[in-house]
Amino acid sequence: MLFEVLRYLCTPCPRQARALGHLSGLISLGARHRRCRRAWAPHLERCRALMLDAARACLRRRTLLVAGSGLLLDVPLEDMSGLFERVILCDVLHLPAIRRRARRLPNVDMVARDLTDLGERVWADLRADRIPDLAVPVPTHFLDRRDLDLVISDNLLSQLPLPFLERIVRRFAGLDAGELEDFARRVVEAHLVWLGGFRARVCLIADVERRKLQGGTILECEDPLFGAVLPEPERTWGWDMAPRPELWPDADARHTVWGYSDFRPKG
C-alpha cells in the first residue's frame, strides 16, 4: 500500500488524468495483478490468443492500434511488433515502466489520449462546481488513418464511464441515478460506434457481467455495460478478477468476458 502511495506521488502525470483517477487506476491495476497473478493468468492468456488470432487473420499488416493498452498485461507486444510494420499503443496515460518497455521496440509508438473525448469537459465542469453536461460525443480518433489494418479494443469498454461516474456522484450526490446510468450506457455505445467507423478489422475484448459469488451462490450480478448491447460473442470465458479476500473476506468477484476477433457492431 505504502509502495503504491509513493508511486502515485512520484509518477509524473498531467493534472487532468490525475484528477480523473487514471493514474491511481493504473497503479491499482498493477497492484491487483501482482496479488492475483495466478487467478488472472488464464484470462490474460485468452486475451493474448484472441489478439494473435485477429492479427494473423489480417491480410495486410501495416499498422495495429491497441486502444486501452494500459500495463500491457494482456498484450503480446513483442509478437505484435514482429507481425506489424507499426504498432500504436493508446491509453489515456502511459506509466514510465510501460514507456521503457515500448521504447525497446523500434516500431512501437505510444499515444496518450482520452478515447471518450469527455475528460476535458467533465473536469472543467467539476472544477467550476457545475453539474457536468452529460451529452456524449462520438470520438473520431484515428479514423482518418488509412494504414490501420487492425484495431484492438482491449478490456477498455466497461472502464470508460467509470472515472466520470465516480467523480460526478461524489460531488453531486443527489443526481438522478437513471440519468447517470443512461450517460454511462451512451459512453459505452459511443465507443462501439467509434469501433464501427474503422475500415480495419476490429478485435474487441470486454467484460459483460460481474458476479459476486459465495461458493456456487450468486450474491450480486452487475451489468458493467449499463445496458449497452453487444452481438453474440465469438468466444466467452470467465475471469477470476478478485478471488477472496481481494475484495471481500468471504466472496469472490468473477467477470464474464466476451471476445471477438472480427467485431462488427449491432445494427
Q: At how many degrees (to 10) do helices 22-35 and 2-10 cross?
A: 150
Under the criterion CB under 6 A, does residue 24 sit at the interface with ligand SAM?
no
Minimum separation from the CB atom of position 250 to ligand SAM (A): 25
Under the criterion CB under 6 A, does residue 72 sit at the interface with ligand SAM?
yes
Which residues sit opposite 108 in a β-bridge? 87
Under the criterion CB under 6 A, does residue 70 sit at the interface with ligand SAM?
yes
Under the criterion CB under 6 A, does residue 159 sit at the interface with ligand SAM?
yes
Cell of 122: 467533465
Under the criterion CB under 6 A, does residue 17 sit at the interface with ligand SAM?
no
Helices (H), 57-118: 77-83, 96-103
Cell of 50: 484472441
Task: Work out which of 13, 93, 192, 241 binds ligand SAM, going by CB under 6 A.
Answer: 93
Whichever of 60 and 247 has its CB closer to ligand SAM, that residue is 247
Return the range that interacts with ligand SAM (CB under 6 A); candidates 53-61, 124-132, 151-159, 218-226: 151-159
Task: Work out which of 36, 51, 55, 74 binds ligand SAM, going by CB under 6 A.
Answer: 74
Task: Work out which of 24, 63, 116, 261 binds ligand SAM, going by CB under 6 A.
Answer: 116
Minimum separation from the CB atom of position 130 to ligand SAM (A): 20
Under the criterion CB under 6 A, does residue 92 sit at the interface with ligand SAM?
yes
**Contact call for residues 20 and 123 (beta carbons, < 8 A):** yes
Burial class (CB in 10 A: 0-12, 13-18, 19+), 220: exposed
Under the criterion CB under 6 A, does residue 189 sit at the interface with ligand SAM?
no
Task: Work out which of 77, 160, 192, 200 binds ligand SAM, going by CB under 6 A.
Answer: 160
Of 218, 132, 134, 161, nearest in space to 21 by CA: 161
For 26-58, the DSSP string reads: HHHHHHHHHHTHHHHHHHHHHHHHHHHHHHHT-
Return the range that interacts with ligand SAM (CB under 6 A); candidates 69-77, 170-178, 219-227, 239-247: 69-77
Under the criterion CB under 6 A, does residue 154 sit at the interface with ligand SAM?
yes
Q: Is the dihedral of CA 170, 171, 177, 178 positive or negative?
A: negative
Strand 63-67 versus strand 86-91 pairing type:
parallel
**Contact call for residues 203 and 151 (beta carbons, < 8 A):** yes
Whichever of 15 and 173 has its CB closer to ligand SAM, that residue is 15
Angstrom distance (rounded) from CA 198 to CA 194: 7
Under the criterion CB under 6 A, does residue 63 sit at the interface with ligand SAM?
no
Whichever of 84 and 239 has its CB closer to ligand SAM, that residue is 239
Helix/strand number for the chain, H first, E second = 9, 8
Whichever of 25 and 132 has its CB closer to ligand SAM, that residue is 25
Q: Which residues of this protein are in contact with ligand SAM, per CB under 6 A? A: 22, 25-26, 29, 68-75, 91-93, 114-116, 154-156, 159-160
